[in-house]
Structure 1
Amino acid sequence: MKQVYPESPQCIPAGYTLPPSSYKSQVVYVLLAMLVFLVLYLAMVALAGYLLYLAVLYPMETVNRWTILLKLGAIGMAGMLFGFMLKFLFKKHDTNNPLNVEITEDEHPQLFSFIRQLCAETNAPLPHKVFVNHEINACVFYNSTILSLFLPVKKNLLIGLGLVNSINLTEFKAVLAHEFGHFSQSSMKLGSYVYMANSIIQSIVYERDKWDELLEKWKNSNIQLAVFGWLLMPVVWLIRKFMALIYQAINLVNASLSRQMEYNADRVAVSVTGSDAIVNALYRLGPASEAFDHSNSHLTTAIDNKIYTSNLFYHQSKAAAYLSQTRESYRQSLLENLPKHTAGARFIFSDEDGHLAEMYSSHPSNYKREQNAKATYFAGIEDERSPWLLFNEPEKLAETVTQNLLRVNLQLHPNITFTPAEEVQDFVEAEQQETTFKAHYLGVYDNRLLTELDLSDPEALVATAGITSELLPDALKSLYGAGLQQKMEELSGRYKDIQTLSLILQKQDKRKTYTLHNGFSYEPHEAQALLEQRLQEFPTDQDWYQRFDTKVFAVHYLLTQTQPAQRAELLQRYTFLVAWVKQFSAWQQEQQNLQNTIDTAISKGSHMSEKEGKWFATEFRRLRDAFEAILKEADTLQFPALQNVDTAQSVRKYLLQEELIWMSADSLQGEELNMLINQTVTVAERMQRVYTKCLGSLLSLQEQLVTVVEEKELV
């Protein structure tokens, strides 16, 4: 194992990994909270049982129709209440995740030898089982049942191969050591108690099942019987509200202990790798997730084309390489590109997230974790090799996890064929070519739709921009120059200000003063006025974008004065894009209307009247018809030439293969509404893809026009 087990630092003092004295008091607080919950819950169960006992055995002095009805009503109420409180104790909690793939020592002997040696070094018990999945993460988990409250908890280790694919061997050792730090914490037993308590409370407060259906039927029965169901309603409501308060209290106390457990586990990692490795691993999660998301966005498109990759992690690595070459912000965010320090500790996390409220956060900020790990700095020896070398046949394992993920999430047929990742990457790179905009555009086309230009008279639009053939060279040079950079910095700063001000107003930011993009500092009481001011500037931004898009069109239209074929293609692509933006904007607006209507319906809850239900059903039907009208209008368009798009197919079929779900205007139908929501999301994603690809193709054409002009000038 010496060949693959990074060397540990020798300078760690004895007792370094022992928890502080405050840790014990936090354990006591959580124990007390759990004891209070258990006593209260069992007392409510006992009280409900006693009420049932009284209802059944309480003698009737006078027997008549009304006393019999009262007796049956009391028994029914008490029985329902007892069943309501008791059912949660026997609720099954299935913690088996089909996305997790168990691995064994026979399959990966070197990894298990690594784990065994690390457990010995950190004085941690061996994991009961080891699993892998696709995530950029590693964690401890256990199967919590009622029995786990009384028997020892068997802790399992989960290793995300997305993480393995993103860090080096020393950082992998640090991450596992952190998890084994949790393995050795006796307070992990409390996690099982808290999990079970949360499960019971969440079931009581939020879940609705056959018991609730029975209560609804009771309330809608004969009026003489229904009255008892209505009397039970406020009792159940009070219990749920009371349990919600207990839930908040338990998690408030447990969050403090959980944060301290994270600090202690980090110190275990420091003890075997030095102060840098665990912090570096935390930092790498950001770029790794960005690369993962980038590759997955294109793989989703491949899936739409019935192309299923055999290896998700191959594309993650390719995406990381691609982003480091094409995206300056990504390249600067890489650990190896951060400023170097000549000696001592290098701090890489800022205190930007240190001001966020932590009342219910189970993990400290990365900044605070770094301060804890480097409070006393211990240098480590870095092994830059990949952790993949610990796994036997890593490519085969990556393919197993990938294919299991796709089969489970997409419910694929067992005989589905997976395409070699290298071939799928060709598809991905074709997508990237059209959907990634070059750095010199400075983000001016990001996070917005192109302005709906009036192209009915191109010459008039050019005149609006105020650009002539004589002014063309200067206009071309100024398009993406210093002026644009200044404007984009202003817009970016405004967006960040809005985020900061929103956090202040939501009380998720506890700073007494904060600095905005203009360099001035403000106090929390000024946040509302400042946010309104920033939001009022959006119409001005839209005017600027319209002038900018008009200028871009005018410049490139004039570049085609002697190139009729290129002018025709330019107009064709602009015309399609403007028409597409109109349909896409309409679709997004109807999606927002749908969400607003759903939110209003949810706010009504069980108090919705029959008349209101009818109104909502009619409104959902109207929205469904509005979506259908947009699809029909979009179907009149003809795709321009695009990579990985069958431009011969109808736009309607591309956006949605099946028909929109039919919605009744007579009654609310939850299943149909969920289907409509899913369909609208699918269409929106495909509209976004077409928009991005069309814009990318248009920009590529405009770049070619500029290149031709530059070449002519050189000649």
Structure 2
Amino acid sequence: MHIQISQDFRKKTKAAVSSIVIFVIVYVLIFLFTIALALACFGGGIWLIAAKPMFLTLMLGAGLAGTGIFVFFFVIKFLFKKHLNDRSYLTEITRADEPELFKMIDEIVREAETNFPKKVYLSNDVNASVFYDSSFWSMFFPIQKNLTIGVGLINTTTKQELKAILSHEFGHFSQRSMKVGSYVYNVNQIIFNLVNDDESYRNSVEKFASFSGYFSVFASLAIFITSKIQWVLAKMYSYVNIRHMALSREMEFHADEVAANIAGSISLEESLLRLELANNSYNNVLNFYEARISKNQSSRNIYREQFFVMNFLAEQSELETKYNLPYVKLAESGLFNKSKLNIENQWASHPSTEDRVAKLRQLNIIKDVDSQPAKNLFKDFERTEEKLTAKLFANVKYEHGRTDLEFETFKTEFETQYQKDSFDKIFNNYYDNKNPDPEAQENSAAKDILFETLFDNEKVELVYTLIALESDKKTIEAIASKEFVLKTFDYDGRKYKAAEAKKLIPEIDQSIMEIKNLIVRNDSDIYNYFLKVAETQNRKQEFVNLYQSFSDYDKVYEEKYKLYIDLVNSTAFMSARTPFEQIRHNFVTLKSLEDQLKQEIRFYLQNPSLISEFSDKDLKDLKDYIEKEHIYFRNEEYFEANLQLLMNAINTLPYLLHRKYFLLKKDVLSLMKDLEENREREMIS
């Protein structure tokens, strides 16, 4: 297979290669400088010793020679560095284990005209990747790649979609023209090693310095010189890395084209659009069990539960189904992204899903589709799922052993938890990222309005447009202040130079103010609509009181949260080197804040709905903390157990504050839902 390289690919390849050439020139100059320095230091050391042989000159000569050697070694240490991938979380499979899967890989390798992977592994996550252990010498000697396939990916794709995703991975190595990316990557790793990965080097220098006080002076000199070399290389790293990332984006498009030629455009598109939902579902299951570690609960098959959660969430979002999998449309995947800002992110190695889908649709390559589940490629996929689930939970420490939750129990508890932690669909996501307006007031002149118009797509889009505008403003302010360095960007379909960013801010501020006014007006309509509905049902006072409780808490929330910030700042000294007298003084100062903390926690512990998720141990520790006076420091020593109680209490405070806010908000929305449903029933009857 041969795919024509795009002009963008050629352009960015040239830019990447030119950056490497410039780096090589700079590096050679540094290399020659360090050789000259090493020879000068070594020669100077020998001359010093020979001129006047004695202990002092021997130590000074040896120290001077050591400085030259260490500086020279610094610029060549990458030659001995090998990047090894952690494989402890992977499970290797062979052709004998899964012949059908290997048959598919054979087909991909043949069509992509690349080599079969050295080893094939299964991982837990929702992803696929090709990796290899690399070093400087791998630029000159060929090394074999390894393939990793996530079980969470197999579980949520068709055979054709899995083939498309794996074809994309092999597409990175399918043509000679792609190998330039490998060289750019390796050069990038070399510079990164020189700039950042110097712990072992510094340890060697410190060991040299520890031999003698004389040597410590020369060790400091070596560190000073290498720090200046690092500064130069850091600049080179930014220069090369920007061009490496830009090339990586083009390589992603190229690999997509390879995948489309092998498995078709549609299969890759549909799998890409479902990927976020599949990944969120997997993480939802992980979070579910993370909260149950204290209850010693685990899963027998986390992937069966992932599949259930994926379809449950799809149903909640009213997504269509295709091939017994959620069918996510492009418009639905970006439903809440209303940003007008378009930056070709120089630090991103992957283009956006929207950009990739657009390219795939331009290709529009049609292939025969195998819509069977990808899991059918395995001899016994359920056994594989259970094996990897057991491996995943083997890393979790349980106090009293673990008990696998039955699947039906998981379904019930997950749905209950979801309903408990989310807002009803009746509000059409309007309140998912905003709160009821605490300043809303009764307006006797308010016009009659329909419930549907309060929460229609137009009103929901206002909320997410405001979020996008505020985010865009922050980014453009960063561009204007040069925190974010780039030459040009697009905003609302027009190209701007970075120097013009500041002029855009007033325009965005105006848009933000206009959108805010529309939202405030709609929130006022919502409040007055439900006031009228509540009045017709003789529940007006109930609605007013509940809404007022929410508003009152909203007004004091920031002040209560400030207590948490003050506590964090007042305990920061414990993680820094602090004189003993200062430590004692700090704990005296902390006392008044701690009294407020105990008062707040004591109040919240009286509310069962706020502490329903706490384990018995968590509750015991909190009660122990608030009921006793604890000593944190005595005889120049911290009391770790008591400090742990204090830090747990401090970190619990924001959870309690947020949880109360959420429950008050949910109470208001639940009452609003109840009022609307009663109104609809009355209309029908």
1:502 aligns to 2:447 (yes or no):
no
1:590 aligns to 2:577 (yes or no):
no
Match of 2:42 in 1: 53
1:352-371 matches, within 5 Å, as 355-371=342-358
Match of 2:92 in 1: 102
Q: Distance in 2 between matches of 1:59 and 1:308?
A: 70
Match of 1:391 in 2: 378
> Structure 1 residue 199: deviation in Å?
4.1
Q: Distance in 1 between matches of 2:427 and 2:663?
A: 16
The 8 Å contact of residues 31 and 190 in structure 1, kept in 2 or not, is answered as: no
Q: Distance in 2 between matches of 1:538 and 1:617?
A: 52
1:41-64 Cα distance to aligned partner (Å, 9 max, x none): 754664564355235323353568
539-548 or 484-493, which moves further after superposition? 539-548
1:528 aligns to 2:518 (yes or no):
no
Q: 1:198 to 1:591 in 2, by over 3 A?
A: farther
1:41-120 matches, within 5 Å, as 43=32, 46-47=35-36, 49-60=38-49, 61-62=51-52, 70-71=60-61, 73-75=63-65, 77-78=67-68, 80-82=70-72, 84-85=74-75, 87-91=77-81, 93-120=83-110
3-state DSSP of counterpart to 2:86: coil
Q: 1:657 to 1:417 in 2, by over 3 A?
A: farther
Q: 1:94 to 1:621 in 2, by over 3 A?
A: farther
The 8 Å contact of residues 605 and 611 in structure 2, kept in 1 or not, is answered as: no
Match of 2:421 in 1: 435
> Structure 1 residue 156: deviation in Å?
0.8
1:141 aligns to 2:127 (yes or no):
no
The 8 Å contact of residues 330 and 354 in structure 2, kept in 1 or not, is answered as: no
Match 2:301 to one of 299, 305, 311: 311
3-state DSSP of counterpart to 2:83: coil
The 8 Å contact of residues 661 and 675 in structure 1, kept in 2 or not, is answered as: no
1:642-701 Cα distance to aligned partner (Å, 9 max, x none): 59926896985598999999699999999x999999986676457645654564456445
Match of 2:155 in 1: 165
1:345-394 Cα distance to aligned partner (Å, 9 max, x none): xx99x998994234343334445444544545432233322211112222
> Structure 1 residue 397: deviation in Å?
1.9
Match 2:601 to one of 634, 648, 659: 634
Amino acid at match of 2:47: Y
> Structure 1 residue 29: deviation in Å?
4.3
3-state DSSP of counterpart to 2:385: helix
1:546-585 Cα distance to aligned partner (Å, 9 max, x none): 9799879978987996899xx7x99799969976995787
Match of 1:5 in 2: none
Amino acid at match of 1:56: G
> Structure 1 residue 165: deviation in Å?
3.0
Match of 1:324 in 2: 314
Q: 1:141 to 1:167 in 2, by over 3 A?
A: same
Q: Distance in 1 between matches of 2:586 and 2:276?
A: 42
TM-score between the two structures when normalised by the length of structure 2:
0.74
1:239 aligns to 2:239 (yes or no):
no
Amino acid at match of 1:205: V
Aligned length: 663
Amino acid at match of 1:133: S
3-state DSSP of counterpart to 1:418: strand
Q: Distance in 2 between matches of 1:443 and 1:498?
A: 19
> Structure 1 residue 125: deviation in Å?
1.2
Unaligned 5+ runs, structure 2 = 494-498
Q: 1:707 to 1:414 in 2, by over 3 A?
A: closer
The 8 Å contact of residues 303 and 385 in structure 2, kept in 1 or not, is answered as: yes
Amino acid at match of 1:381: D
3-state DSSP of counterpart to 1:125: coil
Match of 1:605 in 2: none
307-316 or 239-248, which moves further after superposition? 307-316
Q: Distance in 1 between matches of 2:491 and 2:119?
A: 48
Q: 1:254 to 1:221 in 2, by over 3 A?
A: same
> Structure 1 residue 626: deviation in Å?
4.6
Q: Distance in 1 between matches of 2:643 and 2:178?
A: 42
The 8 Å contact of residues 130 and 158 in structure 1, kept in 2 or not, is answered as: yes
Amino acid at match of 1:397: T
Q: Distance in 2 between matches of 1:104 and 1:391?
A: 12
1:97-136 Cα distance to aligned partner (Å, 9 max, x none): 4332222222212111111122223222111111122333
The 8 Å contact of residues 185 and 244 in structure 2, kept in 1 or not, is answered as: no
Q: 1:98 to 1:580 in 2, by over 3 A?
A: farther
Q: Distance in 2 between matches of 1:389 and 1:264?
A: 29
Q: Distance in 2 between matches of 1:336 and 1:249?
A: 38
> Structure 1 residue 326: deviation in Å?
2.5
The 8 Å contact of residues 136 and 161 in structure 1, kept in 2 or not, is answered as: yes
3-state DSSP of counterpart to 1:500: helix
Q: Distance in 1 between matches of 2:226 and 2:361?
A: 51
1:643-682 matches, within 5 Å, as 645=612
Q: Distance in 1 between matches of 2:54 and 2:165?
A: 73
The 8 Å contact of residues 34 and 68 in structure 2, kept in 1 or not, is answered as: no
Amino acid at match of 2:471: Q
Match 1:403 to one of 367, 390, 402: 390
Q: Distance in 2 between matches of 1:226 and 1:669?
A: 36
The 8 Å contact of residues 123 and 149 in structure 2, kept in 1 or not, is answered as: yes
Q: Distance in 1 between matches of 2:353 and 2:441?
A: 49
Q: Distance in 1 between matches of 2:434 and 2:570?
A: 22
1:450-529 matches, within 5 Å, as 465-466=441-442, 482-483=453-454, 489-507=461-479, 514-515=491-492, 524-529=501-506
Q: 1:361 to 1:305 in 2, by over 3 A?
A: same
365-374 or 152-161, which moves further after superposition? 365-374
The 8 Å contact of residues 17 and 184 in structure 2, kept in 1 or not, is answered as: no
Match of 2:142 in 1: 152
The 8 Å contact of residues 621 and 664 in structure 1, kept in 2 or not, is answered as: no
3-state DSSP of counterpart to 1:159: strand
Q: 1:413 to 1:320 in 2, by over 3 A?
A: same
> Structure 1 residue 498: deviation in Å?
1.9
> Structure 1 residue 281: deviation in Å?
2.7
Match 2:10 to one of 4, 22, 35: 22
Q: 1:299 to 1:644 in 2, by over 3 A?
A: farther
1:426 aligns to 2:412 (yes or no):
yes
Q: Distance in 1 between matches of 2:116 and 2:31?
A: 35
Q: Distance in 2 between matches of 1:513 and 1:576?
A: 41
Q: Distance in 2 between matches of 1:668 and 1:208?
A: 33
Match of 1:456 in 2: none
Match of 1:178 in 2: 168
Q: 1:266 to 1:304 in 2, by over 3 A?
A: same
Match of 2:496 in 1: none
Q: Distance in 2 between matches of 1:707 and 1:360?
A: 50
Percent sequence identity over matched residues?
A: 22
1:388-427 Cα distance to aligned partner (Å, 9 max, x none): 111222222223333333434x456896443244422222
129-138 or 437-446, which moves further after superposition? 437-446
> Structure 1 residue 271: deviation in Å?
1.9
> Structure 1 residue 304: deviation in Å?
5.3
Q: Distance in 2 between matches of 1:284 and 1:244?
A: 39
Q: Distance in 1 between matches of 2:531 and 2:151?
A: 50
Q: Distance in 1 between matches of 2:178 and 2:155?
A: 28
3-state DSSP of counterpart to 1:183: coil
Unaligned 5+ runs, structure 1 = 1-13, 341-346, 454-463, 517-521, 603-607
